[in-house]
Structure 1
Amino acid sequence: MSVVPFRAPLSPRGRSVLVTGASSGLGRACALGLAEAGFRVFAGVRKEADGPESTGSAEAFGAITPVRVDVTDEASVAEAAERISGLVGEDGLWGLVNNAGICVSAPLECVSPQRLREQLDTNVVGQLAVTQAFLPMLRRTRGRVVNVTSGLGSVAIPFLGAYASAQFAKEALTDVLRRELRPLGVDVALVQPGAIMTPIWGKVSVAARSAMDGVPEHIAELYRIPFNRFLHHNEQQARASETRPEDFAETVRQALTAARPRSRYRVGSDARKVSVLARVLPDAALDRYLRPITE
């Protein structure tokens, strides 16, 4: 049996990384964690005042540069790429962490076409637009793309159909990018975090309840009780989770520095459990397992 020789992780020193969606939650934790590890971090935010440079250890302050980028706005993406290209110069960009995203939560019968477009435009179309804009810099360094999805990239659960559709699509994009870019020297990895308590859960609940406001009452009434129960359970599950934003940041660091990056990294026991269930259970059994959500 041949033994693969151990190769030490790469040093973050002298390497630049862009993290999108870095104004709060997992993106903010990721930007801070990567800066503290030694990366030069460009924190992609919709408003530069929302950059994460105001928190974290003192060592990270000088290593984070907020950059305004709206992933749904092609002009904004192009401007960000031009600015970062000018800042990194011939050194290029080592890593792109596609973390920006939104979560539309509602029964699919209650998701308007506009809301579905917003979900897909932010989590799928916008991610590809950002990747395309920064690939010339990544090819120069033979760098890395890290796409962030979730456990819902493996299993689509009731009341998160729009979000799961985006995550499934991003998983497919990641697989294809990995296969297309590897011959060009760019590695692509996927990070799937499970439930982690961040401010997004409160925002999801508020937005989800408002999503029902424009639905005809006779339809909304069909879903209201199980949907509200689902939202409460989701938030409680996140609060009870032992997985921390710092665990996510550390996993992204591993994907960016591993000598041989894995194709997938799962963060948290729930993300690993969902992945196993998706692989081993037939559809009928998985449907039965998820049925209590809708009852």
Structure 2
Amino acid sequence: MTTHQAARRSGAGRTVVITGASSGLGQHCALHLERHGFRVFAGVRRAEDGERLRKESTSSRLQPVLLDVTDENSVRDAAATVAKEAGAQGIWAVVNNAGTCVSAPLECVPPDQMRDELNTNVVGPLAVAQAFLPHLRRTRGRIVNVTSGLGGIASPYLGVYATGQFAKEGMTDALRRELRPLGVTVCLIQPGAINTPIWSKVRETGNEAFGHVPGPLADLYRPAFERFLQANEARAQASRTRPEDFARGVRHALTATRPKTRYRIGPDAQAAAVLSRLLPDRALDRCLSALTKR
């Protein structure tokens, strides 16, 4: 291993930006990368979230930065701030982790809720990539886009979320192929079920969606949807995949001399990838039909 490779594999003070770092997987990842020598700019939407995250850190290598991926001015300001702080060393990588999860039957989802989901999960990450790419080209750096084990399978009642993940997967594939000649590496991280605060938010968004539709329509779906939520929460709580598994996957994508194009984190994410490739649509429909039984 050369000295250059050793430095790359250790992090060695390289500057990384991670969006959606105020809680959940983003917070775990930011703290993990800091512990492994990276200089981490942790994107948060509120100053108080940044202060709380700073108290969790173990060194001065972690610095919160205000970054709302749905606000183009916020994205531009964050890119300028990080570039100034990074100085001559430059910015090594961006981890597009910020995201939301709307869960509800598609017939019950208001169009504005779908727009908000796509703005956060697809348009926002593209805006972040565009803002930081001039800096990443100079360092021949990396973009890591976080999607989901649902990036290949659209589960009932997660259609809005799956739509965003499918789109982000396609965008990432195109970015990887477009940026390869320019020296920028692009990877995907696909985490399966991990017990984080997102699962309580899933229930909140579902209840919000039901609040916008007439009672008879809500009644058509509510019993099966409630069983789905309970099963989903139980699956997350029973999962042996941990946030540290996710963070290690991100670190490998940032440090490996030849990173994978896709990192599937957890056995359920790996199984979903196999099923989506091998099973015909009708067979996969039958596998998922238990979720929608009335």
**Displacement of 1:89:** 1.6
Q: 2:18 matched to which residue of 1?
A: 19
Residue 162 (structure 1) aligns with: 160
1:210 alignment partner AA: E
Q: Shift of the alpha carbon at 1:92?
A: 1.1
> What's the offset of the Cα at 1:53?
2.0
Letter of the aligned partner of 1:76 in structure 2? S
Partner of 1:10: 9
For 1:202, the equivalent position in structure 2 comes to: 200
What is the alpha-carbon distance in structure 2 between the residues aligned to residue 220 and residue 127 of structure 1? Answer: 33
In the TM superposition, residue 98 of structure 1 has moved relative to its aligned partner by: 0.1
Contact 2:189 2:263 in 1 (8 A): yes
- In structure 1, the residue matched to 2:54 is 53
Classify the secondary structure of the residue corresponding to 2:41: strand
TM-score, scaled relative to structure 1: 0.95
CA contact under 8 A between 2:101 and 2:201: conserved in structure 1?
no
1:65-76 maps to which residues of 2 (within 5 A)? Answer: 65-76=63-74
Q: Alignment RMSD, CA only?
A: 1.0
Q: CA deviation at 1:136?
A: 0.8
- Per-residue CA deviations over 1:61-114 (Å, capped at 9, x if unaligned) read 311100001100011101101111111122111010000000111000001110
Instruction: Give how far 1:247 is off.
Output: 0.8
Name the CA distance, whole Å, in 2 between partners of 1:282 and 1:40: 45
Task: Give the gaps of 5 or more residues in structure 2.
Answer: none
Q: Which residue of 2 aligns with 1:222?
A: 220
**Paired letter, 1:15:** R
Quick check: 1:189 aligned with 2:187? yes
**Paired residues of 2:94 and 2:129 also in contact (CA < 8 A):** yes
* TM alignment of 1:262-277, pairs within 5 A: 262-277=260-275
Contact between 2:11 and 2:38, CA under 8 Å: does it hold in 1?
yes
Which of residues 46, 64, 67 is equivalent to 2:62?
A: 64
Following superposition, the deviation at residue 160 of structure 1 comes to: 0.4
C-alpha separation between the residues in 1 aligned to 2:180 and 2:236?
35
Question: 2: CA distance between counterparts of 1:288 and 1:181?
Answer: 39
Residue deviations 1:91-150, cap 9 Å, x none? 111010000000111000001110000000000001000000000111111011000000
Matched residue of 1:10: which SS? helix
For residues 148 and 239 of structure 1, the distance between their equivalents in structure 2, rounded to whole angstroms, comes to 21
User: 1:147 corresponds to which residue?
Assistant: 145
Residue 127 (structure 1) aligned with residue 128 (structure 2): no
* Separation in 2, partners of 1:265, 1:22: 20
Q: Which amino acid aligns with 1:13?
A: A
Q: 5+ residue gaps in structure 1?
A: 1-6
TM-score w.r.t. length of structure 2: 0.95
Counterparts in 2 of 1:208-287, with a 5 A limit? 208-287=206-285
| Secondary structure, aligned partner of 2:9 | coil
- What is aligned with 2:92? 94
> 2:230 and 2:10 mapped to 1: Cα distance?
42
- Paired amino acid for 1:168: F
The residue identity in structure 1 corresponding to 2:220 is L
Deviation sequence 1:14-45 (CA, Å, 0-9, x none): 20000000000000000000000100000000
1:42 and 2:41 matched: yes
SS at match of 1:259: coil
Count, aligned residues:
286
Alpha-carbon shift at residue 10 of structure 1 (Å): 2.5
Structure 2 CA distance for aligned equivalents of residues 129 and 25 of structure 1:
22
Determine helix, strand or coil for the equivalent of 1:243: coil
Q: Matched residues, percent identical?
A: 60
SS in 2 for 1:105: coil
Shift of 1:254: 0.3
SS where residue 67 of structure 1 aligns?
A: strand
Contact residue 29 and residue 244 of structure 2 kept, 8 A: yes
Q: How many Å separate the matches in 2 of 1:37 and 1:145?
A: 18
Q: How far did 1:214 drift? A: 1.5
Displacement of 1:49 in angstroms is 2.0
